[in-house]
Structure 1
Amino acid sequence: MNSLAQLITPACLLDLNKFRRNCQRMQAVADSEQLTLRPHVKTLKSLQAAEYYAPASGPITVSTLAEAATFASAGYTDILYAVGLSPNKFGQLAAIQRLARDFTVIADSLAAVNALADYAGELELPLSVMLEVDVDDHRAGLLPQSDELIICARALSAAPNIHFRGIMTHAGASYDCDTKASQQAMGQQECERIANAAANLLAAGIPCELVSAGSTPTALAGIKHTGINELRAGVYATFDCVMAGLGVCETDDIALSVLTSVIGHQVDKNWVIVDAGWMALSRDQGTALQQQDCGYGLVCDEHGKLLDGWYVSATNQEHGIISHRDNLTPPESVFGYGRLLRILPIHACATAAQYSKYHVIGDDGNISAIWSRVNGW
């Protein structure tokens, strides 16, 4: 099977050329600043995809222990699990450690630090730990100037069978920065605050091996990432409508799409009904507060050409409703029964999570490969 017409829809497509260009763009930023790039593989969660932008010879970031175990089994040795670790997952650490010598977890409270220190004695190998720093008041992390940061770092450094690797952060607030200037300001804030945290720790006699920061908007903001030695980002590999709405990329850079079929119409409402509902697209509405609300995805023809003004305006479990912003009548030549369309995702991570595999599209528009995906936690 190599033709899109042979696929059962909905199906998840990955444009190989766009994907490769996106990966090269981020690598060029890291190379120009002599920073280590630690790609976040959470968007695609695919070993085959990672060969292009996160090879086993380098470090990666993961968001689940299922990813960590899979990538460790494939030969990856420097894996950062960048989500706070709950005690019910401690039992999974040893098996990953045996395969990945630099497998690292994070903590952002003294309670978490103490729990890890207590458990580390049961492990055969030293457990590598980083502390998460809050640089934007957006989500998790210790404040860079807080005494608690120093207390936590000191406790990790003193704990037997624990290796304190350093500090990390993620400027999630950058997803609300809708201008280049605000993205640059957030990127500078991200670097300055985590660099200050590293300086405070060093002044307390606690050096950091890694000072790691990044998000796709701040990594690509066109600034000098001063004060860090590691750059992290993830969704850049595919991009999505959220990133396009922020101006981080163009819609034509979006490498991921959902192939769907027209299954009906509501003629009096100028609606097109397709077989990609929220089970295929996700219910993410991340562009709702942006200048242009893309609903549940932007509509392209089967070749990936954007159809101006057409978007998925509503979804049910297995039905998607396509409308035009100006309530135009859908032309039969494009939206006839059985026609194939592609939907560009609002949030690529959420859409990709609906699938177990990707159909990779080559230069000729046909399927050149099928890549598998890691699901679960």
Structure 2
Amino acid sequence: MPNLEQLTTPCLILDEARMTRNIRRLADKAAALGVTLRPHLKTAKSTEVARRVLTDGVGPATVSTLAEAEVFADAGVHDILYAVGITPQKLPRVLALRDRGCDLVILIDSIAQARSVAAAARAAGKPIPALIEIDSDGHRGGLRAGDTDLIEIGQLLHGSGAGLRGVMTHAGESYGVSGWAAHAEFAAKERDATVAAAQALRAAGLPCPVVSVGSTPTAHAAEDLAGVTELRAGVYMFFDLVMAGIGVCDTDDIALSVLTTVIGHQHDRGWVLVDAGWMAMSRDRGTSAQAVDQGYGIACDIEGKIYPDLIVRQANQEHGIIALRPGSSATLPDLPVGARLRILPNHACATAAQHGSYHVIPADGSAQLRQWHRFGGW
């Protein structure tokens, strides 16, 4: 594998060919469903990835922090949804981004938020367009489609000149079920909830041009998005073991891994010690509640081939303990000190957040690795 032996470990590896395949898969799906794809960039946090996943590299896009919105706006992305509920203190940054020519849209789900946005828009004499978050599955925030506050929020936004852009939902509970049929059911719930909310707003004489749905599981399983205008998803470009564990992808689709080096052994315990602990992998144990617990990640050889039943069983800050899965009859491979391994992560967002750059295996097969910067912060 080109240059992987020369890297300082632990570090983050991105397989560009797999990423490209994942990006095309969902783009084709959205096109077939007749909706706009609005990728979520919270996992990638990289302008290089954004150029490859966004239409013409400029949007539409979804972000989860204003820092993301600012970095991507600097890179030329001009159509951005900030998909976390707004606070009054953040509105000056929102206005500043809009003044720079970025069509930044915010998210609200309460009358208190709507009032603060309306007041800020009136004071500035400028629109601050918003989507109203709809609760389609009881996962987190949002209003039910029949909630009486829905119309009042719409009237506050529209009447103040802030701007009512539409409605959106995120079926986060879809991560807790497995299989295409279950995810398709959640996709239908997303569609039905947002379409009903849009119809209620329109019946009250309010505009609702955008009807936005999506999560990585539902985006891939959706069959009919009649009445929906756009589809969102984020981790799909990389995938991870949580997504594989609920049947959204295969392990062969996972584009992200952590390169690590063997630093020692506890032979009597069947342990292989590596230099990737939770600082490199994160503490995310998202597969622990699934049918197969993958520990802190699955171990692969330097080429990315999975070792049967070999997982990161324990993680300290800078030490990972690799061992066979409990009950396995597989043979522990010979992994001497200095051997290089790649670990597939439970949660790509959490693992990527531990690193400042991607070491990219080029899709064109060239021998030279590339390095793409990633950023953090709020």
Task: Tell me if the contact between 2:164 and 2:207 (Cα under 8 Å) persists in the aligned partners.
Answer: no
Residue of structure 1 in register with 2:233 after alignment? 233
Task: Tell me if the contact between 2:73 and 2:102 (Cα under 8 Å) persists in the aligned partners.
Answer: no
Q: What is the correspondence of 1:83-98 to structure 2 with a 5 Å cutoff?
A: 83-98=84-99
Q: Deviations over 1:129-182 (max 9, x none)?
A: 11111000000111111101111111111113x111001111101101112211
Residue of structure 1 in register with 2:247 after alignment? 247
Residue of structure 2 in register with 1:119 after alignment? 120
Which segment is superposed worse, 311-320 or 117-126?
117-126
TM (norm. structure 2) is 0.95
Residue of structure 1 in register with 2:61 after alignment? 60
Q: How far apart, in 1, do the equivalents of 2:350 and 2:109 lie?
A: 25
Q: Deviations over 1:252-288 (max 9, x none)?
A: 0000000001111111110111111111001111111
Task: Tell me if the contact between 1:259 and 1:342 (Cα under 8 Å) persists in the aligned partners.
Answer: yes
Residue of structure 2 in register with 1:49 after alignment? 49
Q: What is the correspondence of 1:304-323 to structure 2 with a 5 Å cutoff?
A: 304-323=304-323
Task: Tell me if the contact between 2:10 and 2:275 (Cα under 8 Å) persists in the aligned partners.
Answer: yes
Amino acid at match of 1:331: P
Q: Deviations over 1:61-107 (max 9, x none)?
A: 00110110011111111100000112232231222112244111111
Q: What is the correspondence of 1:66-215 to structure 2 with a 5 Å cutoff?
A: 66-123=67-124, 125-160=126-161, 162-215=162-215
Change (3 A) 1:366 1:353: farther
- Aligned-partner SS, 1:220: helix
Q: Deviations over 1:205-242 (max 9, x none)?
A: 11211000001100101512222110100110000000
| Percentage identity across paired residues of the two chains | 48
* Shift, 1:329, TM fit: 5.8
Task: Tell me if the contact between 1:56 and 1:77 (Cα under 8 Å) persists in the aligned partners.
Answer: no
Aligned residues: 373
* Structure 1 stretches lacking a partner, 5+ long: none
Residue of structure 1 in register with 2:28 after alignment? 28
* Shift, 1:57, TM fit: 3.5
Q: Deviations over 1:319-348 (max 9, x none)?
A: 11111013666332xx21110000001010
Aligned mate of 2:333, from 322, 331, 334: 331
Q: How far apart, in 2, do the equivalents of 1:353 and 1:175 lie?
A: 20
* Shift, 1:128, TM fit: 1.2
* Shift, 1:115, TM fit: 1.4
* Shift, 1:289, TM fit: 1.1
Amino acid at match of 1:113: A
Task: Tell me if the contact between 2:276 and 2:318 (Cα under 8 Å) persists in the aligned partners.
Answer: yes
* Shift, 1:120, TM fit: 2.1
Task: Tell me if the contact between 1:271 and 1:330 (Cα under 8 Å) persists in the aligned partners.
Answer: no
Task: Tell me if the contact between 1:135 and 1:189 (Cα under 8 Å) persists in the aligned partners.
Answer: yes
Q: How far apart, in 2, do the equivalents of 1:300 and 1:225 lie?
A: 38
* Shift, 1:374, TM fit: 2.1
The answer to whether 1:360 aligns with 2:360 is yes
Residue of structure 1 in register with 2:373 after alignment? 372
Amino acid at match of 1:203: A
TM (norm. structure 1) is 0.96
Task: Tell me if the contact between 1:240 and 1:348 (Cα under 8 Å) persists in the aligned partners.
Answer: yes
Task: Tell me if the contact between 2:359 and 2:372 (Cα under 8 Å) persists in the aligned partners.
Answer: yes
Q: How far apart, in 1, do the equivalents of 2:281 and 2:5 lie?
A: 20
Q: What is the correspondence of 1:270-285 to structure 2 with a 5 Å cutoff?
A: 270-285=270-285
Task: Tell me if the contact between 1:108 and 1:141 (Cα under 8 Å) persists in the aligned partners.
Answer: yes
Q: How far apart, in 2, do the equivalents of 1:124 and 1:375 lie?
A: 32
Q: How far apart, in 1, do the equivalents of 2:228 and 2:292 lie?
A: 34
* Structure 2 stretches lacking a partner, 5+ long: none
Q: How far apart, in 2, do the equivalents of 1:87 and 1:167 lie?
A: 20
Residue of structure 2 in register with 1:289 after alignment? 289
Change (3 A) 1:210 1:222: closer
